Amino acid sequence: MKILTTMEEIAEVIYTSKSLEVMQERHIKLFESKKNLADTLIVGKLREYVQMTKKNGLENLARKLKGYEKFMKNSFDEMGIETEMSFRTKDYVGFLKKAILYLQKGKPLGRLMDIHGFRWIIGTQAEDDELSHNLCDLAVNMSLLYLTSHGWILMEAEPPIETEFNPDDHPDIYINSKNLIFRVFENNIKDYLRCIKSNGYQRTHFYIKSPEGLLVEGQFGTRAMNERAEHGSSENHFDYKDERYKDVGLVIDPFKITSAKFKIDEDGIITDPEGIIESIIMKI
């Protein structure tokens, strides 16, 4: 499906808008002006992003997740297992790129649901084993039971699509065939714990909708999985994302962005409170 709005037009709006709110309004008008199906579909996703990132909605979401976080931490503390949770809202430009990529690949935009997300790191082990993987499954089961009992709606997940994992290329990755996820949740889980990505990425994902209708992605992994994803054998997970978005053709030079709230200091450190070009890590 062809988008008529050019990457140059999109980039010009990003560079010259003085705030994220203005940028979003200008992009919506730009895509609407093309009067083309693909561009109109993008407009729908941008409006969804705006709706789901309103301040009052985020504050309410944070309060609900705070109760969930407390339940999980207390439960694992009683077992003597350390856990760590972080929450992020996907950056606006990243979401726009992903929406464009979905259209280019013929994927339904309804599957683009990761505007908000939380990540759990379970345990502190430097290397994985059967116990650490079982604890991940336990965390997923506990999470889904808690959230659904508090009015959250669990979404059906796409099955993992990358299965060409070669264990010889990743000898440090533990593979556990045992699956402790409750059967009732199996269709709601994107299981990269056992169906490992070819670059070695491992985690369990699911999507869930808050009682107010905000879509949230949950990710669960061990300390070892997190270290590999960020620094070790699966660092190509992030290179893979960058490579994938090259197909979009929207390359942003952050030094050209003029938003009053967006700053880059002389050392190249980015201050991006509105999440223009990078996801916002939120404390809940």
CA distances (Å), origin 52, targets 20, 41, 55, 276: 14, 17, 9, 15
Query: Is the residue at 236 inside a domain?
Result: yes
Structure tokens at 87: 């929450």
Q: Is the pLDDT of residue 234 over 50?
A: no
Average pLDDT estimate for 68-96: 96
Is 133 part of any domain? yes
Domain that holds residue 184: 7-282
* Bridge partners for 120 per DSSP: 85, 220
pLDDT at 244 over 80: no
- CB-CB contact of 84 with 76 (8 Å): no
Nearest-angstrom CA–CA distance, 151 and 174: 35
**Cβ contact 224:202 at 8 Å:** no
2 falls within a domain: no
Please indicate, yes or no, if residue 216 is contained in any of the structural domains: yes
Q: What pLDDT sits at residue 143? A: 98
Residue at 1 is within a domain: no
The per-residue pLDDT of the chain, averaged, comes to: 90
Element (H, E) at 227: helix 223-230
Answer yes or no: is pLDDT of 30 > 70.
yes
pLDDT in tens, 45-78: 999 999 999 989 999 999 999 999 999 999 999 9
Domain count, the chain: 1
Q: What is the pLDDT of residue 167?
A: 86
Average of per-residue pLDDT across 195-209: 91
Residue-level pLDDT at 95:
96
Answer yes or no: is 248 within a domain. yes
DSSP 243-264: HHHHTTT----GGG---TT-EE
SS3 162: coil
CATH number at residue 56: 3.30.460.10
pTM of the model as a whole: 0.88
Residue 219 inside a domain? The answer is yes
Q: Is-contact 91 278, C-beta < 8 A? A: yes
